[in-house]
Amino acid sequence: MAGRLEDRVVLVTGGGRGFGATIAEAVAREGAHVAIHYNSSAQGAEEVAGHVRALGREAMTAQGDISRWDDIKRVVHEVYARFGRVDVLINNVGDVASNQMSWRDVTEESIDHILAVDVKGTMLMTHEVGLRMVEAKSGVVVNIGSHVVINGSPRAPQYAAAKYGIIGLTKSYAAALGPYVRVNTLGPGFFETERTMNREDWKSGRREAYIERTLLKHVAGPEEIVGSVIFLASDDSRNITGAFLVSNGGYSMVGA
């Protein structure tokens, strides 16, 4: 039985580890060939590529600093040179300022870094791939945002600002690239990765507080979130663009 992304080419940014690796393997299981972008996790990216190939799909890796336009141009060029097209772009890369526990600890360096990666990187990758998708009159962009845009973050306001910026980019490029290209954002809540579970606040009560507030009384794993990415990337969501889909177990219910 053909998968929902059969023979499509999917570019996943930050695909060498964490949620990006989960996404890369999930789209391969749906039949996609995968271009795995990474910055510093070369070994992880190659391991993910190996898993994709083991599923009978083609894979490549491409290194680049997502905050540098020249690097983004080079990565996109490499992917198009290898596959000839990108059918789905998944902008997964993002920094969560996980080491900052209070807004009082914010630094200019942290602000600049998070805005450069989350906003600038997402925008320029969408820009470069989107130009080519419009020329091909076909394509899908899925941005990985956060439910932090609903309630904000007294811990790291720069992170909330960056993720809110992604909503603006989603709406803007949905309008700019339509009718041929759809652009949407997925807003996950907390989900348990190794990075999350190693956070001091997560180990000292925040996990329990999150579960208490969550309607499903559960913290999802990456495999429970990735189905929503597949939905937005596939034809199942063919009539949805410029949208923000929340996946957080009912932690924050959004009105119409």
Give the pLDDT of residue 105: 87
Rounded Cα–Cα distance for residues 146 and 134 (Å): 27
Q: pLDDT band for position 97 (50/70/90)?
A: low
6 Cβ contact list (under 8 Å, min separation 6): 30, 31, 32
Domain membership of residue 13 (yes or no) is yes
Domain membership of residue 226 (yes or no) is no
- Structural domains counted in the chain: 2
168 shares a domain with 83: no
Domain membership of residue 168 (yes or no) is yes
Residue that terminates a domain, selected from 32, 59, 93: 93
Q: Would you say residue 256 has pLDDT above 60?
A: no
* Mean pLDDT, the chain, integer: 92
Domain membership of residue 86 (yes or no) is yes
Which residue in 64, 69, 67, 75 sits closest to 94, CA to CA? 67
Give the pLDDT of residue 67: 95
- Exposed, middle or buried, 224 (CB in 10 Å: 0-12/13-18/19+)? middle
Which CATH number do you get for residue 133?
3.40.50.720
Q: Would you say residue 255 has pLDDT above 80?
A: no
Q: How many other CB atoms are found less than 10 A from the CB of residue 18?
A: 18
Give the pLDDT of residue 100: 65
* Portion of the chain with pLDDT greater than 90, in percent: 75
Is 159 among the catalytic positions? yes
Instruction: Give pTM, 2 decimals.
Output: 0.93
Pick the catalytic residue: 159, 173, 210, 251?
159
Domain membership of residue 59 (yes or no) is yes
**Starting at the edge strand that comes first in sequence, how are the strands of the sheet with 139-144 ordered?**
59-63, 33-38, 9-12, 88-91, 139-144, 181-188, 244-247
* Bigger pLDDT: 195 vs 185: 185
Q: pLDDT band for position 173 (50/70/90)?
A: very high
Give the pLDDT of residue 76: 98
pLDDT in tens, 189-209: 888 777 777 777 777 778 888
- Domain that includes residue 84, residue range: 1-93
* Bigger pLDDT: 103 vs 86: 86
CB distance 96 to 156 below 8 Å: yes
Residue 183 has φ and ψ, to the nearest 5°, of: -135, 125
- Cis ω before 179 (30° cut-off from 0): yes
Residue that terminates a domain, selected from 93, 128, 158: 93
CB distance 13 to 38 below 8 Å: no
pLDDT in tens, 117-170: 999 999 999 999 999 999 999 999 999 999 999 989 888 899 999 999 999 999
Q: pLDDT band for position 47 (50/70/90)?
A: very high
* Bigger pLDDT: 187 vs 104: 187
Residue that terminates a domain, selected from 71, 93, 115: 93
